[in-house]
Amino acid sequence: MAEVVFDQASRIYTPGAKPAVDKLDLTVTDGELVVLVGPSGSGKSTALRMLAGLEPIDAGSVRIDGRDVVNVPSKDRDIAMVFQNYALYPAKTVRDNMAFPLKMRGMDKAEQAKRVADAAELLGLTEYLDRKPKALSGGQRQRVAMGRAIVREPRVFLMDEPLSNLDAKMRVQTRSQIAQLQNRLAVSTVYVTHDQVEAMTMGDRVAVLRDGQLQQYATPSELYDRPVNAFVAGFIGSPAMNLLDLPRSGDGVLLGGVEIPLSREIRDAVGSAQTVTVGVRPEDVAVDSEGSGAGIKAVVDVVEELGSESYLYAHLIDSDGRDDEATTLVVRGPGRTTVRYGETIAVRVDAGAVHAFDPSSGLRVA
Amino acid sequence: MAATIEDTATTTSTAARAEGPRRRSGIGPLLLTTLTWIVAVGFFFPVLWMVLTAFKTEAAAYTDPPTLVFTPTLEQFRAVFDAGIGPYLANSLFATVVSTLLVLVLATPAAFAVSLRPVEKTQDVLFFFISTKMLPVVAAIVPIYVVVNEIGALDNIWTLIVLYTAMNLPIAVWMMRSFFLEVPKELLEAASIDGASLGRTLREVVLPIISPGIFATALICVIFAWNEFFFAVNLTAANAGTVPVFLVGFISSEGLYWARLSAAATLAALPVVLAGWFAQNKLVQGLSFGAVK
């Protein structure tokens, strides 16, 4: 159990080039599960590997329970890591794989056996202890990798996309198992993924990274409700938030010839700017079933039917009645929708749920 | 959406590929199969004939037309041993085994370094290794002879061991490098986080994975060392001579005795063939390492 602190930690592969991780400031409190999420090349894995001691820390520091680990080798950091491809030792049995870190620390045989047995019990691996990794399914291998991490009773768990080699169903199942297990063991955990759904469902807090820089570090609900910039707004949530650069008009902005009012708070923050990047989540855009003619008109390009709900991908029709292919909108519709491809629908934007960002900096305006 | 379209495309092309061989029928494949057999038998027949002749009496070996039916005899093998092949066999065995062990001991850490811990000049080093194989041995024999002569190491088995080790080392490093490259980097990282030392990681994690590769490399070294002739014939005489040297001497002294010569040649070929036979499984496993993982 421990507190992990990244303090201006940087990783610079080539001097002069852009750092892979750029002055990262992040605190993981005791027992917390923190997810690092971002697209490929965002530096999330590099940050984890810096904590693991697999990448050097070129500037700043990383501390585990107040102890600066910059010059401490991996094995002395009291951490355990779960790798994307599990990295199980192929020539060893499940038992020996799990006991390996204990054996390396010279723990006595009886204690080793007990810990391995306990972890195997916890993970449902008892009957597989004498098998080689080759004879296990993907899910079982994943659990062995978890087991090898657990037996050490480390201060910190590090997980590098541990679910990405599993099939979709297994991934969802294992996702909740890991979250449960982490909760129960209450070991501080840093979890890396590129999957924002994983991040949202598992993280106590989520750090969104892009190009080596921390964008936002907050709870899942705060990330969702108050993204600090257009990147986070577009990255968190599925399907992604609609982000449109819209011209000002009166007390609002103009979309498809219809004025969407902006709150006083946003208007004050925007000032005299002529365009605003407006973000609206698909669930805050509704299909206007009345079709009163006053709504925003759009032509449906794709219908994604999910059963309980549906998503309509549409492009707008501008105020002159012409197709505006460049302006697209994702709209959440009811399940078993009757709307079909090519149909023209009228949509309504929930003005209270509008996010506004500065078009040039991308930062949230209010 | 996109995924569905892709999936369909993959399925279609797989189906097309699967139908391919079935549609091809007629004379073509039969002709190719026949040709393959002709070539294979063409290669194998002389060897077979040599082995058969080794079991004949000299009289039977000279019949014209040659006979396939005869009473086998070990007489010729006895004659070869009487002619003194024994020490030569021992020399060959000693040079082969010791040089192969030396190669493995030296090549394993070298291959580990160039594959898993590469540095800036690793590519150059690798090129240097292989470049030592570019100079024809004939071109190097004069300086080698002079050096060996100067240090008084002519007709000494250890001279051959050193040369065979040097000769096989570059190939071994290159071969083993390709096996080491197949070891996932994460395994080494996991081992280092688990607290294993480098030696421990090599012994307990890496070696079990690449053991088929080491086996394959060892076999190649054994074959090359056992069959080596040029160094042996130029640098050895009565004391340190190896089997190929004996065989050549035998051709000139007993060249008229076909059966006896065949027996000697069979004896020379036997150890390597046996080693290959026993190593077959391991070797295939080693050479198709990537597919096994």
Average the pLDDT over A323-330 and give the result: 90
Q: What is the mean pLDDT of residues B87-115?
A: 94
Under 8 Å CB-to-CB from A354, ≥6 apart: which residues? A260, A262, A263, A266, A278, A279, A280, A284
Rg (CA), chain B: 25
What is the average per-residue pLDDT within B51-78? 84
Contact A302, A285 (CB under 8 A): no
Q: Which residues of B touch A53 (CB under 8 A)?
A: 192-193
Grade residue B58 by pLDDT with cuts at 50, 70 and 90: confident
Q: Which residues of A61-88 are buried (b: 16+ CB within 10 A; e: fewer)?
A: ebbbeeeebeeeebbebbbbbbbbbbbb
- Residue in B closest to A90 by C-alpha: B209
Beta bridge partners of A210: A213
Residue B72: which pLDDT band, with cuts at 50, 70 and 90? confident
Candidate from A54, A90, A105 with C-beta closest to B189 = A54
The CA distance from B218 to the nearest CA of chain A, in Å, is 21
CB contact under 8 A, B195 and A79: no
Residue A353 — pLDDT band, cuts 50, 70, 90? Answer: very high
What pLDDT, on the 0 to 100 scale, is given for residue A1? 57
Burial of A366 (0-12, 13-18, 19+ CB in 10 A): middle
What pLDDT is recorded for position B104? 95
Bridge partners of A229, per DSSP, are A363
The DSSP secondary structure of B13-48, one letter per residue, reads: HHHHHHHHHHH--SHHHHHHHHHHHHHHHHHHHHHH
How far is B194 from chain A, CA to nearest CA, in Å? 4
* Residue whose tokens read 């307990």: B204
Q: Which amino acid is at A94?
A: V
pLDDT exceeds 90 at position B7: no
Chain A interface includes B187 (CB < 8 A): yes
A54 touches chain B (CB under 8 A): yes
Task: Indicate the burial class of B14 (C-beta count within 10 angstroms; 0-12, 13-18, 19 or more).
Answer: exposed
For residue range A206-231, what is the model confidence (pLDDT) as tens digits? 999 999 999 999 999 999 999 999 99
Helix (H) or strand (E) holding A313: strand A309-317
Shortest Cα distance, chain B CAs vs residue A13, angstroms: 14
Instruction: Name the closest residue on chain B to residue A99, using Cα atoms.
Output: B194
Amino acid at B86: G
Domains of chain B, CATH where assigned: 2-54 (no CATH), 80-289 (1.10.3720.10)
pLDDT digits over A257-278, tens only? 888 999 999 998 888 888 999 9
Q: Which of B1, B187, B194 is nearest residue A101 as measured by Cβ atoms?
A: B194
Residue A34: count other Cβ atoms within 10 Å of its Cβ. Answer: 22
- The residue of chain A with its CA nearest to that of B205 is A89
pTM: 0.79
**DSSP states of B45-91:** HHHHHHHHHHTS-HHHHT-SSPPS-----SHHHHHHHHTT-HHHHHH
Distance from CA of B274 to the nearest CA of A (A): 28
Nearest by CB: A90 against B194, B196, B209: B209
Q: How many helices (H) and strands (E) does chain B have?
A: 15, 0
> Are A75 and B1 inside 8 Å of each other by CB?
no
Smallest Cβ distance to A87: which of B186, B195, B208? B186
pLDDT at B200 over 70: yes
Q: What's the pLDDT score for residue B2?
A: 39
A311-315, B21-25, B127-131, B271-275: least confident range: B21-25
**If 0-12 CB within 10 Å is exposed, 13-18 middle and 19+ buried, where does residue A299 land?**
middle
pLDDT of residue B8: 40
Smallest Cβ–Cβ distance between A52 and the set B193, B196, B208 belongs to B193
Confidence of residue B288 (pLDDT cuts 50, 70, 90): low
Query: Could you report the predicted ipTM of this complex, rounded to two decimals?
Result: 0.84
3-class secondary-structure state, position A275: strand
What is the DSSP-derived secondary structure letter of residue A76? G
- Is residue A187 within 8 Å of A110, Cβ to Cβ? no
From chain B residues 190-209, the ones with a CB under 8 A of any chain A CB are 190-196, 200, 204-205, 208-209
**Distance of alpha carbon A82 from alpha carbon A145, whole angstroms:** 6
Q: Which residue of A85, A101, A104 is in closest CB contact with B186?
A: A85
Question: Using 50, 70 and 90 to split pLDDT, how confident is the model at B20?
Answer: very low
Nearest CA in chain A to B211: A91
Contacts of B1 in chain A (CB under 8 A): 302, 304
Asked if B192 and A104 come within 8 Å (Cβ–Cβ), the reply is no
Chain A residues in contact with B184 (beta carbon < 8 A): 85, 87
Of A345-349, B69-73, B234-238, the poorest mean pLDDT is in B69-73
Q: Return the residue in B194, B210, B289, B292 with the most chain A beta carbons within 10 A, the one to mutate for interface testing.
A: B194
Rounded CA separation B273/B259 (Å) = 20
Q: Do B191 and A90 touch (CB under 8 A)?
A: no
Residues of A in contact with B187 (CB under 8 A): 87, 89
Query: Which residue's entry shows tokens 């909760």?
Result: A183
Contact A100 B187 (CB under 8 A): no
Distance CA A44, CA A35 (A): 9
Contact (CB<8Å) B187/A87: yes
